[in-house]
Amino acid sequence: MSENSNIEWTDHTFNPWIGCTKVSPGCDNCYAEQMMDKRMHKVEWGPRGERVRTSAANWREPIRWNARHAQFFAEHGRRQRVFCASLADVFDTAVPIEWLIDVLDVWRQTPHLDKLVLTKRIGNATKRLGEAFNTLMLRDDCAENPLVPWLATWIAGNAPADVWLGATVVNQAEADRDIPKLLRTPAKTRFLSMEPLLGHVDVFSSATGELLHTSGNEYEPGALDWIIVGGESGAGARPMHPAWARSLRDQCAAAGVPYLFKQWGHWHTAVVDGSTGRATFREFASFEQWVSKAQTWVAGGICLDRHGVPLERGEDFMRARDEGGFPVTVMHGVGKKASGRLLDGAIHDAFPVTSLDVGAACGRARGAM
């Protein structure tokens, strides 16, 4: 799927700068910090560290990708997707506003690319776009600068169709806080990245119901256009309970929202169903079943109660029994590669279809006549 990125849901990754500060439980085991700070020593992570702008050659890459859009569409039947940014956050307030202006101008100059802008700071988006516009208006060339009307149109509510706006949400508290912010920010395509998923999340909960529904319980199509789900990998990875991923799959199916299951991460299962050959998660349905089968079923793995809380000692299981924590699910640390991307035996690789996709396909069909 990816040309210049190992990330399953994009073709290219564009990092205009490197560096960030942790702002979420999902950041605890940040892969970008481990790679760029701890291992490669290219940048100091955190509020005291500086953001490091990448090379001019790297900034020219989106322009190059944009220029070859016709060739890509002929080969793949769709537009190119560019993730902005995997090693930083576009709406980080520690970044000079001039850098953001430069990024916005790259987006303006690449209308044939779908820019997938994912942030852990969705509450900053409208403010930072406004700051960028005000800064532009102070420049001597503001009357001739094509970025000014492009950005003014976005701020006025008519967002560019080729900029997909996404928020990272890892638990219910973040969903309740950030989904309304995402829905209030002008965008043609909005999405959630729920990776690492750290708990059960009801995306269409009462906290977001006012914005997600038009009337009663009728879901408003287009309010959220895509949901990505994935577990955590790497050192210190936290397990993703299978029930959490299944629930989001089912929520998306009920709402007609495309669902992409990116990965299990480090934790999955080492058990295979002999009759089907499929990986299977073993469960203790009750405390009594755990007592009789524990040594055989756990086999070096971990047990999670139905809320995803690890159970390590006998008293933990007794508490789960008394507090309604059963059934308990067994998971094993098999690593990202072995765990794969199958959810109940299926790959979930759905993407939103935008007006630009339809327009490009129609244009290609007319050209073939």
In a domain, 309, yes or no: yes
Do 75 and 157 belong together in one domain? yes
Do 95 and 164 belong together in one domain? yes
In a domain, 1, yes or no: no
Q: How many CB atoms lie within 10 A of CB 73?
A: 18
In a domain, 124, yes or no: yes
Do 246 and 325 belong together in one domain? no
Per-residue pLDDT in tens (0 to 9) along the chain, 369 residues: 345 788 999 999 999 999 999 999 999 999 999 999 999 999 999 999 999 999 999 999 999 999 999 999 999 999 999 999 999 999 999 999 999 999 999 999 999 999 999 999 999 999 999 999 999 999 999 999 999 999 999 999 999 999 999 999 999 999 999 999 999 999 999 999 999 999 999 998 644 554 554 433 344 444 899 999 999 999 899 999 999 999 999 999 999 999 999 999 999 999 888 888 899 999 999 999 988 877 667 778 899 999 999 998 889 999 999 999 999 999 999 999 999 999 999 999 999 998 888 776 666 666 665
In terms of Cα–Cα distance, which of 181, 157, 165, 96 is closest to 131? 96
Kindly report the CA angle at 1 between 360 and 279, in degrees rounded to 5? Answer: 135
Phi, psi of 18, deg, nearest 5? -125, 140
Instruction: Please give the C-alpha separations between residue 84 and each of 22, 113, 183, 258, in angstroms, as whole numbers.
Output: 17, 12, 19, 20
CA distance 186 to 356: 17
Do 349 and 213 belong together in one domain? yes
In a domain, 274, yes or no: no
What is the per-residue pLDDT for 368?
60
What is the per-residue pLDDT for 277?
86
CA distance 18 to 84: 11
Domains: count for the chain: 2
Do 168 and 315 belong together in one domain? no
In a domain, 110, yes or no: yes
Do 52 and 139 belong together in one domain? yes
- Distance from chain centroid for Cα 173: 16
Q: By the 8 A CB rule, do 339 and 263 touch?
A: yes
Q: Which residue has the tokens 């007592």?
A: 291
Do 329 and 354 belong together in one domain? no
What is the per-residue pLDDT for 218?
42
Do 327 and 349 belong together in one domain? no
Do 46 and 136 belong together in one domain? yes
Do 65 and 188 belong together in one domain? yes
The DSSP secondary-structure symbol of 111 reads: T
CA distance 174 to 197: 11
What is the per-residue pLDDT for 367?
64
What is the per-residue pLDDT for 363?
66
Domain assignment of residue 31, given as a range: 12-267+343-368
Three-class secondary structure of residue 304 per DSSP: strand
In a domain, 277, yes or no: no
In a domain, 5, yes or no: no
Do 352 and 242 belong together in one domain? yes
What is the per-residue pLDDT for 212?
53
In a domain, 2, yes or no: no
Q: Looking at the DSSP assignment, which residues form a beta bridge with residue 115?
A: 82, 163
In terms of Cα–Cα distance, which of 252, 195, 263, 194 is closest to 224? 252
Q: Which residue has the tokens 């524990």?
A: 294
Do 233 and 308 belong together in one domain? no
pTM to 2 decimal places: 0.93
